[in-house]
Amino acid sequence: LNKLKKDNTGYDLKNLFIGAEGTLGVITAATLRLIPRPRSVETAFVGVASPAAALELLGIANEKSGGNITSFELMVRLGIDAVLKYDAGSRDPLNEAHPWYLLIELSAQARTGLRDTMEEILAAGVERGLVADAAISSSLEQTKAFWRIREMFGEVQRQVGGSIKHDISVPVANVPAFIAEANDAVIKLIPGARPLPFGHLGDGNIHYNVAQPVDADKEKFLARWHDVNTVVFDVVLKYGGSISAEHGIGIMKRDLLPTIKDPVAMELMRALKRTLDPNGILNPGKVL
């Protein structure tokens, strides 16, 4: 319940509990810091040719507006198609189809200047041939419509059929190579499988979902869950990535953890667990 921004008295106990999924202790109270709501927000829906083009645009955005990027979401065409088909409330913000899309959000306390920054980023993107088309939101309603597409992305996948899911991260610069190689590996394993990557490009965190082939048997496809995991995680590990970027380990990835984690780190985690929970009563059976 420390309210300090800086405190250097001993070990960082707080971060030991954050992300431990309740296996080291129970959090019963917390101090939260409030920050002022941003005064200006600019949102753009952008069509790009490839993840590589999206990455280069992220570099431009970082240069021009560093700390103001609050979202840089990548979406593949197949998912946009599904949203437009199955969500009656969504329509395409752009006139033509593009292979990939970005939802970019900039936020700032300053009341003015952010629109110019967004326009500069997109203009530089057009000039370098990275941006095929873009719409900047001109109303709160339009902003909500852009976000609805992103938010329905996960929802509509069940309409597309069975879906094998991954929550991975790689170093941001490796996202395009990861997607290309994971796509190849998955399609080689299951011809006709339809990769549906989307997510937080700015964090290198991709929800790498794979939809079943058209007209395939859903149960048979889902029975390959572990096989698909294996080929995808191989590519993740090749790029020094994580098999759980934000969703944690829980039970589902518990047995997988020792196969991908450094053995020294695993042993250290087990030692911490034994020290803090010698009787094994804290969320037993999870993570470790």
Q: Which residues bind its own copies (CB under 8 A)?
A: 2-13, 15-16, 18-20, 24, 35-36, 38, 62-68, 108-110, 112-113, 116-117, 169-172, 200, 203-205, 240-249, 253, 257, 260-261, 265-266, 268-269, 271-272, 274-276, 287-288
Q: How far is the CB of 65 from its own copies (least distance, A)?
A: 5
Both structure tokens of 9: 């008295």
Q: How far is the CB of 214 from its own copies (least distance, A)?
A: 32
Q: Where are the alpha helices (DSSP H) in the chain?
A: 14-17, 51-65, 77-86, 114-127, 140-155, 157-160, 175-189, 218-222, 225-238, 257-260, 263-276
* CA–CA separation, 166 and 164 (whole Å): 7
Nearer to its own copies by C-beta: 62 or 163? 62
What is 226-249 written as a DSSP string? HHHHHHHHHHHHHTT-BSBSSS--
Q: How far is the CB of 83 from its own copies (least distance, A)?
A: 24
Q: How far is the CB of 238 from its own copies (least distance, A)?
A: 13
Burial annotation 83-106 (CB, 10 A radius, 16+ → b, else e) = bbeebeebebbeeeebebbbbbbb
Burial annotation 201-231 (CB, 10 A radius, 16+ → b, else e) = bbebbbbbbbbbbeebeeeebeebeeebbeb
Q: Check if the beta carbon of residue 161 is closer than 8 Å to that of residue 91.
A: no
Q: How far is the CB of 288 from its own copies (least distance, A)?
A: 8
